[in-house]
Amino acid sequence: MSEDRKLLQPLTGIVSVTLRILLGTLVAGFLLSLFVDGVHWGRGDMCVTADWTGTSGSDFQPYETLPGAGVNYTPAFCPVEATGTNWQQFLGVMRTAPVTVLLIGGLYLLDRLLRLAAREGVHTAGTAARLRVLGWWLLLGSLVVETAASVAGGLLLGTLTDDEVADAAWAQLWSAPYLAVLTGLGLLTFARIVGASARMRDELDAVV
């Protein structure tokens, strides 16, 4: 298995260190928010930028432009009070927390995959199964996270304005996570390849 360990480096070490640093940062931020005034942990993003709308004109010009250039103004809606209401705080957290869960969960699954692959071998049914789990996590998780964040953003915008800009705002805030989806599909395909390789290896071992 020493050859397999060499194949998986330096990614194994990098993922392990990154996961521990990220978890340590989250724990430290939570503890600081309990004991230090002014440190707000897990508040989320309570400002919604409506970048699908905007205005331009000569009445309001805070920025100077060169001849032939113009400035478009995109509104960002925020609560007057920094903390907002409890409902706004919840929606703000729902815009950012799912991304953190997806990231930490993905790093944990990748760390577990690499550690067990180094111990048991790369071409095993277990490695193929764990690759499959990671692929589905990225594929489905990215879609769920993007949908949750956009719906929360739309609901949050509805608490900040009754303008028509808030109508079906979640659809404007939603964007397809192409990279995560393609990566998930790639991992699922690679899991099938590793699974086929593991079966061939078992057949060869049985013959020998």
Residue 65 lies inside a defined structural domain of this protein: no
Going by C-alpha positions, the residue among 24, 15, 208 that lies closest to residue 116 is 15
- Residues 152-165 have pLDDT tens digits of 999 999 999 887 77
Q: What is the pLDDT of residue 60?
A: 60
| Residue 55: predicted pLDDT | 62
Of 83-87, 185-189, 201-205, least confident by mean pLDDT is: 201-205
Q: Where are the extended beta strands (E) located within the chain?
A: 48-49, 76-77
Residues 15-23: what's their mean pLDDT? 92
Q: Is 115 exposed, middle or buried (0-12, 13-18, 19+ CB in 10 A)?
A: middle
CB 157 within 8 A of CB 50: yes
Domain membership flag for residue 175: yes
Residue 68 lies in a domain: no
The number of domains in the chain is: 1
Is the pLDDT at 61 greater than 80? The verdict is no
Residue 186 has a pLDDT of 97
199 belongs to a structural domain: yes
7 domain-assigned = yes
Range(s) of the domain holding residue 151:
2-48+81-207
Domain assignment present for 20: yes
Q: 73 lies in a domain? A: no
Could you tell me if residue 14 is inside a domain?
A: yes
